[in-house]
Amino acid sequence: MNTTVASTLDSRKSGYDAIVPAGEPWIHEIAKGQYFRIIDCDGNQAADTLFYNARDYEERYSAQNTIREQANIYLTTGTRLMSNRGNALLTIVADTCGRHDTLGGACATESNMVRYAIEKRHMHACRQSFLKAIIGWGRGLEKRDLDHNINFFMNVPVTHDGRLTFEDGVSAPGKYVEMRAEMDVLAIISNCPQLNNPCNAYNPTPVRVMIWDPTD
């Protein structure tokens, strides 16, 4: 059902290589032309991700512009990740998973109360991690800058009759998605701590992030 495309980059030559533990945020700049890979280390882990123009945070990833421009709700190889101004922030150049979600959004303590039970308020959630990341980063980023995100490795099918479901993942240990930055971007990942639905197979696990220079 999904087409997968492997990368030609050599893992040993990446200039940046880090592990993002489950439930933690990661914030980092990626320069125009660099390649950015996110690896689902143990399988079925949602990597909630936001992108901004690193020179002007008012320009940011737009989920609706991205799916509308390609007239398809799933993100995979060839998808241009579009900004609110209609520019490509990054392009997906390799994808061994085959399908990523951008409609399901990020979990929050508030939405967890609605979705599961009001007693779930205390549970850790992606928007807590996003807020921690931007508070730490500073430089003017605020809650209002947290728009609709990408859920890499997450499977959220929509049916012809307008239903939306969270399905067990199409990802597996070692699967990855790789992007080329089309401008200098700021990336924020919340490695999702959700324990209430199958987006993480009820067991949040680490993801690995790697960056290559264009000459590598």
* Contact residues for another protein, defined by CB under 8 A: 1, 57-58, 62-65, 67-68, 71-74, 84, 86, 99, 103-106, 108, 110-111, 113-115, 117-118, 127, 142-145, 147-148, 156-160, 162-166
Of 39 and 46, the one with the shorter C-beta distance to another protein is 46
Q: Residue 138 CB: number of other CB atoms within 10 A?
A: 7
Of 9 and 67, the one with the shorter C-beta distance to another protein is 67
Instruction: Provide the minimum distance between the beta carbon of 163 and another protein in the complex, in angstroms, as a whole number.
Output: 6
**Which of 109, 130, 100, 98 has its CA nearest to residue 26?**
130
Task: Say if CB 153 and CB 44 are below 8 A apart.
Answer: yes
Of 34 and 112, the one with the shorter C-beta distance to another protein is 112
Instruction: Provide the minimum distance between the beta carbon of 215 and another protein in the complex, in angstroms, as a whole number.
Output: 33
173 vs 178: CA distance, rounded Å? 16
Instruction: Provide the minimum distance between the beta carbon of 168 and another protein in the complex, in angstroms, as a whole number.
Output: 16
Instruction: Provide the minimum distance between the beta carbon of 165 and another protein in the complex, in angstroms, as a whole number.
Output: 6
Of 35 and 99, the one with the shorter C-beta distance to another protein is 99
**Which tokens in the block code for residue 116?**
């599961």
The single-letter code of the amino acid at 19 is I
Which residues have C-beta within 8 Å of that of residue 171, sequence separation ≥ 6?
Answer: 40, 43, 44, 45, 97, 153, 154, 155
48 vs 1: CA distance, rounded Å? 23
Find the helix or strand (DSSP H, E) in which 113 lies: helix 109-115
User: What residues form DSSP beta bridges with 48?
Assistant: 151, 190
**Which of 161, 160, 151 has its CA nearest to residue 105?**
151
Instruction: Provide the minimum distance between the beta carbon of 50 and another protein in the complex, in angstroms, as a whole number.
Output: 13
Of 14 and 197, the one with the shorter C-beta distance to another protein is 197
**Which tokens in the block code for residue 11?**
């893992």
Of 34 and 128, the one with the shorter C-beta distance to another protein is 128
Instruction: Provide the minimum distance between the beta carbon of 72 and another protein in the complex, in angstroms, as a whole number.
Output: 5
